Amino acid sequence: MTRLRVFLEMVRFEHTIFALPFAYVGMLLAANWPPTGGAMRLPTLHQFVWISVALAAARTLAFAINRYADRYYDARNPRTANRAIPAGRLSARATLGYGTVALVVLAVAAWQLNDLTLKLLPGALVFLVGYSYTKRFTWLSHWVLGATDGLAPAGAWVAVRAAVDPPTWLLWLGVTFWIAGFDLIYACQDTEFDRNEGLCSVPARFGNAVGLRLAQANHVLTVLALAGVGGVMRLGWAYWLGLAAVSGLLVYEHSLVSPNDLSRVNVAFFNVNSIIAVTLFGTTLVALYVG
């Protein structure tokens, strides 16, 4: 139980609750596609439960692989040296063991949802497992991480519809750019370390100023993609009010950091982005309910 508690702390399991909203947005929108203007339709309880299980398992698997893959780098980085594996609180073998359990749970969840979800699982695993290694060879790793997290709303859509429809791609792109944008901000903390270790990131390759400007550009694309979702789904005023709030939060997020002052990165990374996810889910729910 002690090792399990350390593992859950390491993968920040409690933050799964902040990853769920975007998946639930995909789930709700899929249940209401194509838009008819009638009463809001809801996914089944079976779909809701197994989508939640799948997301928690996928996130846990991805985090476990990431901590395992980066264990030697984490040990050499003063910012991450206190993480569970380099600090000796959890072995690499135990981390892989828990990750394997998460993989089994994810496979069961995909099987419980529908055939297409299960068929697409191997492709999703390429992202979930592979993204942790992309920093070794490409500074595009930020967008690979974004595309991986974008699988949450896209996968939830497929879990409900057993199909890939136009809004699926817009949701995937919106989350891809959103995650890539704040990963660019987060990566600015390790610019010098990444350079010394030969790791690839935009800040390490081009500098923090370029990284932050690209983060801003990505978040503009996020808003545009989410606006596309609202247009295609014919969502009402509540969604657009929520998107305006999200835009404001993104502006605030960028105001917290600068190339020479990264002291508030964690506020931008965790607090603001959690509020963004919950805001978009809540206003989407209201938009579907009021029609």
CATH number of residue 190's parent domain: 1.10.357.140
Whether residue 132 is predicted with pLDDT greater than 90 in this model: the reply is: yes
Whether residue 55 is predicted with pLDDT greater than 60 in this model: the reply is: yes
> Rounded mean pLDDT of 47-58?
94
Cβ within 8 Å of residue 226, ≥6 positions away = 170, 174, 243, 246, 280
Q: Into how many domains does the chain fold?
A: 1
Find the domain containing 213 and state its range.
Answer: 2-290
Cβ within 8 Å of residue 201, ≥6 positions away = 135, 139, 141, 142, 187, 190, 191, 194, 211
Other beta carbons less than 10 A from residue 234's beta carbon? 14
Mean pLDDT score across all residues of the chain: 93
Per-residue pLDDT reduced to its tens digit, 148-202: 999 999 999 999 999 999 999 999 999 999 999 999 999 999 999 999 999 999 9
3-class secondary structure, 11: coil
Other beta carbons less than 10 A from residue 272's beta carbon? 17
Reported as a pLDDT band with limits 50, 70 and 90, residue 38 is confident
In whole angstroms, give the CA distance from residue 95 to residue 75.
16
Whether residue 47 is predicted with pLDDT greater than 80 in this model: the reply is: yes
The total number of residues written for the chain in this structure? 291
Report which DSSP code applies to 13: G
Enter the pTM of the model.
0.94
In whole angstroms, give the CA distance from residue 209 to residue 223.
22
Whether residue 251 is predicted with pLDDT greater than 60 in this model: the reply is: yes
Per-residue pLDDT reduced to its tens digit, 266-288: 877 778 888 999 999 999 999 99
